[in-house]
Structure 1
Amino acid sequence: MQKKKVALLYGGKSVEHDISIRSAKNIFEAADKEKYQIYCIGISTNGGWYLTNEVSNDITKGLKLSLQLHNGQMSFSTSEEENLIFDVAFPALHGTDGEDGNIQGLLEVTGTAYAGSDVMGSSIAMNKFFTKQILEKQGIPVCDYLYFTYQDDPEFEFIKDKLGLPFIIKPINLGSSVGVSKVKSKSEFKTALKEAFKYDNEIIAEEFVEARELECSVLVENNEIKASVPGEIVVEKEYEFYTFQAKYVDSKAARLEIPASLPENIENTIKHLSINAFKAVGCQGFARVDVFYQEDQGMCYVNEINTIPGFTNSSMFPMMWKHDGYTFTSLIDTIISEAIYRFERKTRLKTNFNSGLE
C-alpha cells in the first residue's frame, strides 16, 4: 500500500507558537509511519514556511519553502526538490492564522484535503463572541457576557452592574488563557484591559462562575459524531483560574481527572451539550468543548470550543480518548482518515454550471 503524504503544519505567527510545536512533536511521533509519510512544515514567528526533518523548535534551520500551484493543487518547492505535493494536511496550529479559518481558506482554494474544521467552523469557534451568540440561539447555556472593541471605552461600573464581581476579561480570538485576567476590583480593571487589548482588538467581559471546570472531546468517525468521557481540571488554590502558567509551565498547578467523577445524568448532559455545540458552530473532524458545571445548581455552561485542541503531554483531548480506547496512533489515524473521506465526498460536487450565456 502506498503511503499517504501528510503535511504536518506547526508553529505559526501566533502567541501559541510554542504550544503548537509541542503538539506537533507528539503527532509526528504517534503517526503510523507504515501508513503515512510525514512532512514537517514549520511556520516561523515571522511567517516563513520551512521543511524540517522533524518537528523542530528552530524552524528557520529547515529548507525554505516556496508555495505554488501545480495542476491546480498546492505544491511546494525547495532548493533541493520541486513540486512537493501532499495528499492531506494536518494543521497542528493553535490560535491566530491556524485555528481561525485563515490556513483552512488557503487549503480550500488550493484543493488540499485537511484535518479538522473548515473555514466557517474554525472562524466561528475561534471568535468567542460569535460562538456564544450562536450557542444562545440554539438554546445551549453560556455564561453572561459583554462585548467590546478597542475603540470602545469599557467602564468598570457598567460591567460590574451587569456581571457582578469578579468577572473575566479575555481576548476574543486567542486560546491557552493568553491575555486572560480575573478582575476582582476597580484597581485591577485597567491592567486587565491593557493585557487583553495587547493581543486583540476585540474582547469580552464574562461572568465568573464558581464551578467545576470540565472538558469533553468530540470526534467524527465513519460519519458518526462521538463524545468522549468528560475530564476535569482541578486547579491548585494558589491559581485563581486555569492560567497559561498552570496549563503549560507549572506541572503541579493542576490535576487532571479522567474520567471526571460525575453523576450519570450530568455526564450525559455534558456529552449531549458538547455534540450540540460542535454541530451548532459547524465544526468538523474533531474538537474539544470546555464546560463549567455548577454543582449546587445542577447547571452546565458551554464555555469555549477548541477546533485544534492541544496534543501535548498535558492535553486533555488525547487523554480522554485514551480512556475510551483510542491509542494516540489510532486517534491520529482516525482524524486523518476522516479528513481524506470528507475531501473525497466534497469532490463529487460540481463547481461549474452550463448557463448558456455568451
Structure 2
Amino acid sequence: MKKRIGLLYGGKSAEHEVSLSTARAVTQALDFSEFDVFPIFITLNGEWRVGPQLTEAAQSIEQLQFTSTSEKSDNNIMQFISAHMANPFEVIFPLLHGTNGEDGTVQGFLEVLNIPYVGNGVLGSAAGMDKVTMKQLFEMAGLPQVPYVHFIRSEWESNKQGYTAKCEEALGYPMFVKPANLGSSVGISKASNATELERAVAFALQYDRKIVVEQGVTAREIELAVLGNDAPQVSVAGEIKPMTDFYDYDSKYKDGSTALIIPAPLEEQVYANLVDMAKKAFKAIDGAGLVRADFFVTENNEIFINEVNTLPGFTPVSMYPLLWQHTNVPYPELIKKLIALAVERHTEKQRLQYNRD
C-alpha cells in the first residue's frame, strides 16, 4: 500500500521562496510508485491551499502555487483539516523555512491533529529557531560558543547608547548582528564600528524583535548533518568558503559565490570532536529527524558551535543532502529515511498514557 504524503510548503515567512525551491526538489526525488503525494501550499498571506494529487514531479515552482479551491479567500486552514478528515494523511512533510513553519507553530498544530510529521517537534523546532534559547541550551550542555549579547527591540530603543557600550565591553569588533528568530542568513550583517552596529541592529529589527550580537571570529565554517531520533547518526563534515565577507542570503541562494568542500579536510580527532558535539547539540534541543550543526574551527583547532538548523536547505545542491550523499545516502533514500523516522517518532509517542486508570 502506498503512503499518503502531504508536502507542506510556502509559508508566511521571509524564506517563502526558499521553501518553494525545496518543495520542487523534493517532488523530483519522491518515488511516486511508493507514495501518494498531495501539495499543501501556504501563501505569503497565510492562506492554506490543498492542491490535487501530484502524479509526477513538479517541473517548475509555478506549478506548486495553485489557486484556492475554496470560496473563501481568507486563511482557510479548514480546507486542510477537511482533506485530512476525509482521507487522512499518513505523514506530513513540512518544507517550511523560517517563522510560521520551522519555529514549532506548525509542529504544534500537527501534534494537536495527531498527524505524523517529518522533522523536529515543538520544543526542538522552537529552540532551534530562537538563537538566544538555543545558545542557553548549548551552554547548559557544555558546548563552547563565541561570546554574545542579546536584547529586545524596546530595550534597544530606550537605551541604544547603553547597549552599544554593553556590546563593546563584552565583545570586540567585528561583530555579527542577527535576528534571533530567522534562518537563511536573512537580516544578518557585520559591524566594524559603533555606527555600523547601530545600522546593523536597525536592519535586523526589521525581521525580529529579539536581536543577537556575536563576537566575530577568524575561523573555518564547518557543517555536519545529523539524522535520526534517539540514536542520531552524523555525516562527513563539509566546509563553506564564501567569497563574500560572510555567508549571507545572496551567496547561499543567488550568486553562487560560495565553495562547498566535502569532505572538509580535518584532523581525525577534530572530526571526532565535531561529531560528538553535533550529537550533543541535537540532544540539547531534543532533536528529531534532522538538523544541520554549524561550527567554527580556528587555526589552532579550537571548536565553537555556531547553531543548529532544524530544517536546513533541502535542495539536492544544499549542504545537508550533499553531506549525506558523500556519506553514501543519496537524496531519494534520505527522503525515505526521514519519512520512516517521522512514523517511528509518532509511534513512540502513542505509547504515552493520558488517563490515570
TM (norm. structure 1) is 0.91
Structure 2 partner of 1:183: 191
Structure 1 partner of 2:356: 353
Structure 2: state its 5+ residue gaps: none
Identity %: 37
Q: Which moved more, 1:266-275 or 1:57-66?
A: 57-66
Question: How far off its partner does 1:248 sit?
Answer: 0.5
**Aligned counterparts, 1:139-158, within 5 A:** 139-153=142-156, 154=160, 155-158=163-166
Note if 1:203 corresponds to 2:202: no
Q: Which moved more, 1:5-14 or 1:32-41?
A: 32-41
Question: How far off its partner does 1:276 sit?
Answer: 0.7
User: What is the one-letter code of the residue matched to 1:220?
Assistant: G
| Whole-angstrom CA distance in 2 between matches of 1:345 and 1:189 | 47
Equivalent of 1:225, from 219, 229, 232? 232
Structure 2 partner of 1:268: 272
User: What is the one-letter code of the residue matched to 2:252?
Assistant: K
Structure 1 partner of 2:81: 75
Structure 1: state its 5+ residue gaps: none
Please say if residues 293 and 301 of structure 1, whose CA atoms lie closer than 8 Å, have aligned partners that are also in contact: yes
| Whole-angstrom CA distance in 2 between matches of 1:217 and 1:315 | 11
Structure 2 partner of 1:6: 5
| Whole-angstrom CA distance in 2 between matches of 1:35 and 1:63 | 27
| Whole-angstrom CA distance in 2 between matches of 1:56 and 1:49 | 17
Equivalent of 2:242, from 216, 235, 244? 235
**Aligned counterparts, 1:1-358, within 5 A:** 2-52=1-51, 53=54, 54=58, 56-57=61-62, 59-64=65-70, 66-68=76-78, 75-77=81-83, 83-153=86-156, 154=160, 155-220=163-228, 224-236=231-243, 239-251=244-256, 253-296=257-300, 298-354=301-357
Give the number of the structure whose residues are more often strand, by fraction: 1
| Whole-angstrom CA distance in 2 between matches of 1:337 and 1:38 | 15
Secondary structure of the 1:228 match is strand
Question: How far off its partner does 1:194 sit?
Answer: 1.0
* Structure 1 segments of 4+ aligned residues over 6 angstroms from their partners: none
Question: How far off its partner does 1:96 sit?
Answer: 0.3
Give CA-to-partner distance per residue, 1:116-139, whole Å, 9 cap, x none. 111011111111001111111111
| Whole-angstrom CA distance in 2 between matches of 1:8 and 1:300 | 37
| Whole-angstrom CA distance in 2 between matches of 1:210 and 1:76 | 53
Question: How far off its partner does 1:308 sit?
Answer: 0.7
| Whole-angstrom CA distance in 1 between matches of 2:128 and 2:144 | 16
Give the number of the structure whose residues are more often helix, by fraction: 2
User: What is the one-letter code of the residue matched to 1:267?
Assistant: Y
| Whole-angstrom CA distance in 2 between matches of 1:217 and 1:294 | 20
User: What is the one-letter code of the residue matched to 2:81?
Assistant: S
Q: Which moved more, 1:312-321 or 1:119-128?
A: 312-321
Question: How far off its partner does 1:268 sit?
Answer: 1.0
Question: How far off its partner does 1:243 sit?
Answer: 0.6
Question: What is the count of residue pairs matched by the alignment?
Answer: 341
| Whole-angstrom CA distance in 1 between matches of 2:239 and 2:116 | 33
Please say if residues 220 and 297 of structure 2, whose CA atoms lie closer than 8 Å, have aligned partners that are also in contact: yes
| Whole-angstrom CA distance in 1 between matches of 2:296 and 2:28 | 33
User: What is the one-letter code of the residue matched to 2:9?
Assistant: Y
Please say if residues 66 and 76 of structure 1, whose CA atoms lie closer than 8 Å, have aligned partners that are also in contact: no
| Whole-angstrom CA distance in 2 between matches of 1:76 and 1:128 | 35
Please say if residues 21 and 61 of structure 2, whose CA atoms lie closer than 8 Å, have aligned partners that are also in contact: no
Please say if residues 247 and 314 of structure 1, whose CA atoms lie closer than 8 Å, have aligned partners that are also in contact: no
Question: How far off its partner does 1:299 sit?
Answer: 0.8
Question: How far off its partner does 1:84 sit?
Answer: 3.8
